[in-house]
Structure 1
C-alpha cells in the first residue's frame, strides 16, 4: 500500500512537471493512469491530476498555451472514456473553458524546482520567431540548470556572467537556488532582452536585494576587454550558443577576451553547454578554441533529473581554460 501510494505521488508530480513545462504528451506517465483506471474503475486519479495541472493556482496565474491544454484535457477524457469510468464534470468543464479560448503567439512555461518553487517564463509558441531562436527554452539550458543545482558552490557568492541568456531559465534557476552575489544576464537581440527583463520581473528577481541582477546588451563582436573587466565575472556560462557556424568565430574571440581579463585573484571559470545538433559545427568550434590557445575538458554527466525534456539529445558540457 505504501509503495503504491508513493508511486501515485511520483506520477502526480510527473504529470504536473510535464504539464507546466508543456512537454510532449507522449512523454506523460499514461501507463500508470491506464492501469489505475482499469483496476479501480474510478476517476479519482484523474481528479487528482486535474488539481495538480489545469485547476492548480499556477495554471491560473501562468497558463500553458490554449492548444496544449486542449490537447491534454482531450487525452485525459479519451482515456477515461476508454476505461468506462463515471464521467467527471470538472474535466469537461475545464475543456469547455479552453475550447473557445483564443490562441496567442506567447504562452507560459513553468519549471518546478526541487524546493517546490517554480520558474515561470513567458515564451514564444514558435521555436523561431522575430529572426531569433532566443525566445524559447532549449535542452542545453535545462541541462545546465540541472548541473548548477548539483554544483551550487560554482556560483555561491560569485559574480556570474551568462552569455546568450535567452528567456532566462538557467539564470533564474541559479539566482533562486545557488546564492550568487551578482548575476549578469546578457544577449544582443532586442526582443530577447525585453523578454528577459519581463521574465526577471515575473519571477520577482528585480525586487530582491540579493543577488544583484542586471540585463546587459553584450554584442559578441563589439564587447571590449574594458567592458568585460567592468563586469568582473568569476564564473561565465553559456547554453546552446554553438549552433551557427557564422557566429562561432565571434564567440571564440569573446571567450579569449574573457579568459585574458580575469577577476581579481583567480581566472574566471568558463562553462559552455551545447546540444550537438551538427557535429561539423561543434567540431569547428573546438578547433577554433584550440587555434585561439584555449584548452577544454569535458565535464562528464549525467545530471540529476529535475526538469522534463528530451534526454535523447546529445548534450556536452565543457570547461575552458588557458
Structure 2
C-alpha cells in the first residue's frame, strides 16, 4: 500500500504547508509530526520533495517570495526533521537552502493568502512589524478574521458601495474585491507610506480599476458632506482600536458616518488592551451609537494565530 493510499489527508496536509509557507505562518504551526511519520515510515525523502514543490520550489515563490530569513528558517526546520529520521540527505533540500543562504536580506517581502475559490491575494509587506512610524505596512490577525467573516456574509458586500477605514496593506479589501462583487470599493488610510504600499498591492492583484479607489482619509478632518459623497452602504475596519490616542478621533468619525447616512458598519478588533477597547465601546455609547457583538467566521480559510481575542461588532444609531 502506498503512502498516499494509507493517508487520505496527505494532499490536504501538503496544502497546509503551502498555505502556511506563503503567508509566513508561525513555524510551530506546521504539521511537522506528519513529516516525521512519513520520513520514518517510508525511509525516503519523497515527502521532503513534495513539500519543497509546494513551497520554496513552487513558481509562486520565484515570483513573490516570502522573506529570506523566513525561507532559511523553514528549510532549516525541514533539515532538522530529515536528519532526525536517519534518511539519506535530500539534494533538492540542500540546493534550496544554498539559494537562500546566498540571498540578500531586504526590508520587504511578499505574503500570499489562498482563496477558497482559487487564486490568492498577494501582498508586498514590510518585514518589520513597525516601520516608518506605522504598523500599517503588515497584515494583522483582525484583517484576516474580518476577511473570513466577509466571505461568509456576502450580502453586506455584493452589489454594494463599500468603504474600508484604515486599510493598511489591503488584505481585507482585496479579498472582498477578488472573491465578491461590490459595486464600488474605497480603500482608505492617511499615512503616505501606507497609501503607497496599498496602491501597489491593489495593482499587484489586478483589481478592477473602475470599481476600486484608494484614497487618503484623515479621520480628524473628513466632513459629513465628504462622507455623503462617498455614499458607502457598508463600512468596515480591522484593527483600528489599538491606540488610546486615536479612539476619540475614530468615534467622532463614526458619528459623522452614522449622521451622514445609514450604512452597515462593522469593526473587527484584536482586543490587546481591554481598557482601551472598553473605552472605545463606552465612547460609542456616549456618542449615541450602540453595538452588537457578532459571531466570528465559521470556516478557517487563512492561517493565523487564533489565540488572541478577536471581536467583530456591528454599530447602530441609537433611536
Shorter-chain TM range is over 0.9
Q: Which residue of 2 aligns with 1:236?
A: 235
Q: Give the secondary-structure state (helix, strand or coil) at the position aligned to 2:8.
A: helix
Report the RMSD for the aligned CA atoms in angstroms.
Answer: 1.2
* Aligned counterpart in structure 2 of residue 273 of structure 1, from 265, 268, 278: 268
Q: Which residue of 1 aligns with 2:206?
A: 204
Q: Which residue of 1 aligns with 2:170?
A: 168
Q: CA deviation at 1:254?
A: 0.5
Q: Distance in 2 between matches of 1:256 and 1:4?
A: 59
Q: Distance in 2 between matches of 1:296 and 1:138?
A: 23
Q: CA deviation at 1:303?
A: 2.8
Q: Does the 8 Å CA contact 1:153/1:178 hold for their aligned counterparts?
A: no
Q: Does 1:304 align with 2:299?
A: yes
Q: Which residue of 2 aligns with 1:194?
A: 196
Q: What stretches of structure 1 move > 2 A for 4+ residues in a row?
A: 1-6
- Unaligned segments of structure 2, at least 5 residues: none
Q: Does the 8 Å CA contact 1:18/1:308 hold for their aligned counterparts?
A: yes
Q: Which residue of 1 aligns with 2:252?
A: 253
Q: Does the 8 Å CA contact 2:137/2:197 hold for their aligned counterparts?
A: yes
Alpha carbons of 1:218 and 1:209: their partners in 2 closer, same or farther (altered >3 Å)?
closer
Q: Distance in 1 between matches of 2:47 and 2:233?
A: 48
Q: Cα deviations across residues 132-172 of structure 1 (Å, max 9, x unaligned)?
A: 01000000000000001111121000000000000000000
Q: Cα deviations across residues 84-119 of structure 1 (Å, max 9, x unaligned)?
A: 112211111111001011100110011111122110
What is the TM-score normalised by the length of structure 1? Answer: 0.96
Q: Which residue of 2 aligns with 1:80?
A: 82
Q: Distance in 1 between matches of 2:61 and 2:145?
A: 24
Q: Does the 8 Å CA contact 2:67/2:109 hold for their aligned counterparts?
A: yes
Q: Distance in 1 between matches of 2:94 and 2:276?
A: 49
Q: Does the 8 Å CA contact 1:77/1:91 hold for their aligned counterparts?
A: yes
Q: Distance in 2 between matches of 1:83 and 1:116?
A: 35
- Listed as ranges, the matches of 1:1-322 within 5 Å are 4-205=6-207, 208=208, 212-262=211-261, 267-322=262-317
Q: CA deviation at 1:23?
A: 0.8
Q: Does the 8 Å CA contact 1:297/1:319 hold for their aligned counterparts?
A: yes
Q: Does the 8 Å CA contact 2:145/2:297 hold for their aligned counterparts?
A: no
- Unaligned segments of structure 1, at least 5 residues: none
Q: Distance in 1 between matches of 2:145 and 2:245?
A: 24
